[in-house]
Structure 1
Amino acid sequence: MQGMGESRTDLLLWLNDLLQLGYTKIEQCGSGAAYCQIFDSIYRDVPMSKIKFNAKQEYEYVQNFKVLQGVFLKHKIDNAIPVERLLKCKMQDNLEFLQWVKKYWDMYYPGGTYEAVSRRKGEVGSAGSKPSMKKSTSVNSVSKAGAAATVARRVASPAVPKANPAPKKNLSPSLELEYQKQFDELSQNNLELKVAMEQMEKEREFYFSKLREIELFVQENLDNGTPKTSVEVLKDIQQIMYRTEDGFEVPVEDEEETY
């Protein structure tokens, strides 16, 4: 467990700025590609041609982590890489490892400009986390659609361009600076909203799965003539309500996060 680490949002902003990527969630680091290039920005000797930035399958993730393990061995980096957990693309595991990587980078980055795109020969990373669990469609599909629409409305924002637009001609330096500042702020806000959207979707699925499980439990007891006492039934329902699920994190504000 870690505390006082950098927030998800701060880490994503740093990662995307350093590597010129478009990651929207920490889980995307589970492919191993970003970790490899972070260490390339420090040592400039990682065999980038062996890294698959567009990896989709777990065996491709494993290949990326083999490259990373080679870097750790070569530079005598004394820290274990929890490969089996990281490649499952769980947010918590990748968050903790990325927090450690960021601290290491702060200590050993040599400074200067790092040409991330040219180092990977222009390959654009789009490694995503694995597909979420299949959703139940046998009950309350209308309510789920409404919940999704509510989430979308809460985080809706104007589209932000993916690349900096060219400044208008004949602008004074002060206007150009203000123009760029506003664009950067919009880009940051857009990224933060995407991260919030991802977390809210996880919460929605977590609580819906509990309601579905309770519904099936109640139906089973009704079909069996409710052989259990009311107290026993209530205890079983309470157990379902308070059971946590792997990969689900209780939402907290970034500045108050503890892991």
Structure 2
Amino acid sequence: MGESRTELLGWLNEILQLNYTKVEQCGTGGAYCQIMDSVYNDVPMARVKMNAKHEYEFIANFKIMQNLFKQKKIEKPIPVEKLVKCKMQDNLEFLQWIKKFWDANFPGHAYDPVARRHGAPTDTPATIAPIATSRTTTARAPVGRAGGRTPIGGPRAGSAQPNEAIQALQAQLREMSGHLEGLEKERDFYFAKLRDIEILVQQQIEVLEGAGKDDETLREIQKILYSTEDGFEVPEGAPALDEEETF
């Protein structure tokens, strides 16, 4: 059996001088990167975003980890797609593995985590909790006494529950709105990258065409960029959009 969540968080916070309260917060990738840095002391911590708020930032942190694993010939696969969702079980299992790796490989040298991350802020995003179901938010009606009458003289048990449920749902809505904003920024981030690639490919094709040449690889890249999935095709007869409208 691996260490409990409490034990792992205590170890993590002590080693890295953090204040994590949930294993899920490790899904940002920053803490994992710095644990590995405490072993090897050569992770590019200036590139690690310890206060990452959006999934694309989490992914960037994990790419640094993947590069380190490749460089050090560590064969453990990193389940990035699962970890960045900040779910407890996935991050608990990976943190347990990280702890075992650290126990086996930490050389015992002095390590200053704050200096290594250059004093970068370490705020972590709140994790999104599941919305409570009606079974957990609605109080059961009290069982009546003989005769079927409810006692008089005070508020009924659970009368404040609906208001508490509304407040919980409002907090959940605010948190999900923040998460949606992060997803939109992530979408725009990758969309801009694809647009840059498209422009470069098109420019190079035009240069080659001007010289009477062609490049099959560039054509294949262009074909991928312009490919569509079922249900996303441009309808026949639809007016063509200009380049600015398309992107």
TM-score between both structures, scaled by the size of structure 2? 0.54
Q: Do residues 125 (structure 1) and 143 (structure 2) align? A: no
Q: How far is the alpha carbon of 1:145 from its aligned partner? A: 5.8
2: distance between equivalents of 1:144 and 1:52?
Answer: 40
Larger Rg: 2
Q: How far is the alpha carbon of 1:78 from its aligned partner? A: 1.1
2: distance between equivalents of 1:75 and 1:144?
Answer: 55
Instruction: Extract unaligned runs of 5+ from structure 1.
Output: 148-259
Q: Deviations over 1:132-153 (max 9, x none)?
A: 345679x859326669xxxxxx
Q: Do residues 142 (structure 1) and 160 (structure 2) align? A: yes
Q: Which has the higher contact order (CA 8 A, sep 6+)?
A: 1
Matches for 1:211-230 after TM superposition, within 5 Å? none
Partner of 1:89: 86
Q: How far is the alpha carbon of 1:15 from its aligned partner? A: 0.2
Aligned match of 1:72 in 62, 69, 92? 69
Q: Do residues 19 (structure 1) and 37 (structure 2) align? A: no
1: distance between equivalents of 2:53 and 2:131?
Answer: 18
Instruction: Extract unaligned runs of 5+ from structure 2.
Output: 139-158, 166-247
Partner of 2:217: none
TM-score between both structures, scaled by the size of structure 1? 0.52
Q: Is the CA contact 1:18–1:116 (under 8 Å) kept in the aligned structure 2?
A: yes
Aligned residues: 145
Q: Do residues 31 (structure 1) and 28 (structure 2) align? A: yes
CA-based RMSD of the aligned residues comes to 2.6
Which one-letter code corresponds to 1:10 in the other structure?
E
Distance 1:108 1:57, change over 3 A: same
Secondary structure of 1:49's counterpart equals helix
Secondary structure of 1:52's counterpart equals coil
Secondary structure of 1:39's counterpart equals helix
Partner of 1:61: 58
Q: Deviations over 1:3-23 (max 9, x none)?
A: x00000000000000000000
1: distance between equivalents of 2:24 and 2:163?
Answer: 25
2: distance between equivalents of 1:61 and 1:18?
Answer: 21
Distance 1:102 1:109, change over 3 A: same
Secondary structure of 2:160's counterpart equals helix
2: distance between equivalents of 1:41 and 1:99?
Answer: 16
| Identity value in percent | 55
Partner of 2:112: 115
Matches for 1:173-192 after TM superposition, within 5 Å? none
2: distance between equivalents of 1:144 and 1:116?
Answer: 46
Q: Is the CA contact 1:27–1:128 (under 8 Å) kept in the aligned structure 2?
A: no
1: distance between equivalents of 2:28 and 2:8?
Answer: 16
Q: Deviations over 1:199-219 (max 9, x none)?
A: xxxxxxxxxxxxxxxxxxxxx
2: distance between equivalents of 1:71 and 1:130?
Answer: 27
Distance 1:25 1:145, change over 3 A: farther
Partner of 1:51: 48
